[in-house]
């Protein structure tokens, strides 16, 4: 595995998407070590704390990865309600106290430093993508740790389902859809999905295995023609990188934890911190803890 931070892009993702950039095209391209799948999660976090960046698919294999969004306390109820009303894209695994940068999911970890890359939002606009957010941290921030589909990829692999973006060493492609989430308070916005091309003979296994992990998005929300989600071109993801599919592959779409970032862009809270798409927080939890059968 050789995930890449394709940070020469000015898109909303880490690849070749089509959103609004932040002038970060001078960031270096960094490769994650070929043996990253065997890292312990605490070792991965230490490397990210030191400045290593890149998509985390396959890193610390067997350990649960999560999305991060931190909002001011006066927006925390809206976010909690948004997640409760939209559990498919926003399955909450932990919520911190206001101002806390620790989580029960990873002993000794620091949510301000231990992700590969972050995003800083002001009034719904992306203003920075640092590797450390201590300078941006506020004592009123409440952090939500949301399940990530990278977690069920071990189950897909065990079932023989190829993971094209891991094979190709790129970030998973993610798309903003035409489906709207259920609003909650001041928060509203579209569903975001991740896409994995799946050979027809493996489709049933992909659906079955992911459905057994509802805490990390569970079963797909759509299979087949992308226009059913309002997606015009699979070659132009809104976040992440395009992935090369085999001729008979079926595009399969899962709800994605980048959905809260789409809600931030649509709802324009005064401030928020998130992970950079595809660059997740590595927890100490084991993936099988979230398997329901």
| Segment 101-146, tens digit of pLDDT | 999 999 999 999 999 999 999 999 999 999 999 999 999 999 999 9
Parts of the chain with a pLDDT under 50: 1-31
Predicted pLDDT at 34: 57
Secondary structure of residue 166 in the 3-state scheme: helix
Q: What is the DSSP letter of 81?
A: H
Host domain of residue 287: 1-293
CA atoms within 13 A on the CB side of 22: 19
> Is residue 72 within a helix (H) or strand (E), and if so which, with residue range?
strand 63-72
Predicted pLDDT at 288: 87
| Count of domains observed in the chain | 1
What is the 3-state composition of the chain as percent helix, strand, coil, each rounded to the nearest 5? Answer: 25, 25, 50
Cα distance between residue 31 and residue 27, in whole Å: 13
The CATH number for 246's domain is 3.40.1640.10
Predicted pLDDT at 33: 54
Cα distance between residue 258 and residue 265, in whole Å: 11
Predicted pLDDT at 58: 84
Cα distance between residue 149 and residue 39, in whole Å: 19
| Torsion on CA atoms 276, 1, 283, 70, rounded to nearest 10 | 0
Cα distance between residue 293 and residue 135, in whole Å: 43
């Amino acid at each position: 595995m050789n995930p890449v931070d394709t940070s020469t892009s000015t898109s909303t993702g880490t690849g070749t998407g089509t959103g609004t950039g932040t002038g970060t095209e001078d960031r270096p391209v960094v490769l994650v070590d070929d043996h990253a799948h065997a890292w312990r999660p605490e070792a991965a976090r230490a490397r990210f704390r030191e400045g290593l960046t890149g998509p985390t698919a396959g890193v610390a294999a067997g350990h649960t990865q999560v999305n991060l969004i931190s909002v001011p306390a006066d927006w925390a109820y809206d976010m909690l309600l948004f997640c409760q009303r939209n559990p498919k894209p926003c399955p909450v695994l932990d919520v911190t106290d206001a101002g806390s940068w620790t989580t029960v999911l990873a002993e000794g970890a620091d949510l301000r430093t231990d992700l590969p890359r972050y995003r800083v939002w002001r009034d719904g606009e992306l203003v920075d993508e640092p590797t450390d957010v201590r300078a941006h941290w506020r004592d009123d921030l409440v952090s939500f740790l949301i399940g990530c589909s990278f977690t069920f990829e071990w189950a897909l692999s065990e079932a023989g389902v190829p993971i094209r973006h891991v094979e190709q060493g790129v970030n998973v492609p993610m798309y903003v859809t035409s489906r709207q989430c259920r609003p909650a308070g001041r928060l509203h916005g579209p569903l975001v999905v991740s896409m994995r091309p799946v050979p027809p003979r493996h489709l049933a296994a992909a659906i079955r295995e992911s459905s057994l992990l509802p805490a990390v998005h569970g079963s797909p929300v759509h299979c087949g023609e992308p226009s059913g989600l309002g997606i015009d071109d699979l070659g132009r993801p809104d976040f992440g990188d395009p992935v090369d599919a085999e001729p008979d592959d079926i595009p399969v779409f899962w709800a994605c934890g980048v959905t809260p970032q789409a809600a931030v862009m649509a709802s324009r809270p005064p401030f928020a911190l998130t992970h950079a798409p595809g660059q997740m927080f590595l927890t100490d939890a084991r993936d099988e803890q979230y398997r329901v059968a």
